[in-house]
Chains A and B, each alone.
Chain A
């Protein structure tokens, strides 16, 4: 059981280039999230999805786009990379079965992205 898998694990981009980060989960989770982690800043939510075909903005969405065409995949895109987007990106997934229940998030191992 792979859990949450992120690709690539590491990437270096030049300013202005574009790329897509892929997150795949095999737990049939409805909810998926993209975070960025910077030193001293904790995890900040970029975008999230509560189901196939739906996405919503998080705390720091500017400069990023996302898509959830399949339940198991959540893609994060950078259309025109900027040095300020240098960070470690984490994907997470979870299931909220009903209003009374709550489950922890499962995280991928992260993608370290450097933008020169």
Chain B
């Protein structure tokens, strides 16, 4: 059975700290790994990582895919209170049109 696991489940840090969120997966025919940020409503897309694009960066956020370890990390440097959210990891597989989501990591950044 395909599975995506995120850790930690929750995290509390202070502004300015650097955080690393983890996502590991066990799936058949991996296609891509996606990171989303969810504040109060809809998840919003952050990054998509594939075999041809294993590193992505946008401002203070960056993500790396490790295909050997079947995992990915999402780094946030110099955290701000606006980074407080649930961060979701999802994996898509070839041959299906589905995305398997992890349980998410709830990040709280204190001022």
- A-side residues, CB < 8 A to B, are 4, 31, 33, 35, 40-45, 48, 50, 58, 90, 96, 99, 102, 104-110
Contact = CB atoms under 8 A, between A and B. Distances in A.
A6 to B, nearest CB: 9
Interface of B: 6, 9, 31-32, 34, 36, 41-45, 48, 50, 88, 90, 92, 94, 97-99, 101-104
A102 B102 contact: no
- The main secondary structure of chain A at its interface with chain B is strand
B6 to A, nearest CB: 8
B41 A110 contact: yes
A44 B99 contact: no
A42 B5 CA distance: 10
B105 to A, nearest CB: 10
B30 to A, nearest CB: 11
A105 B103 contact: no
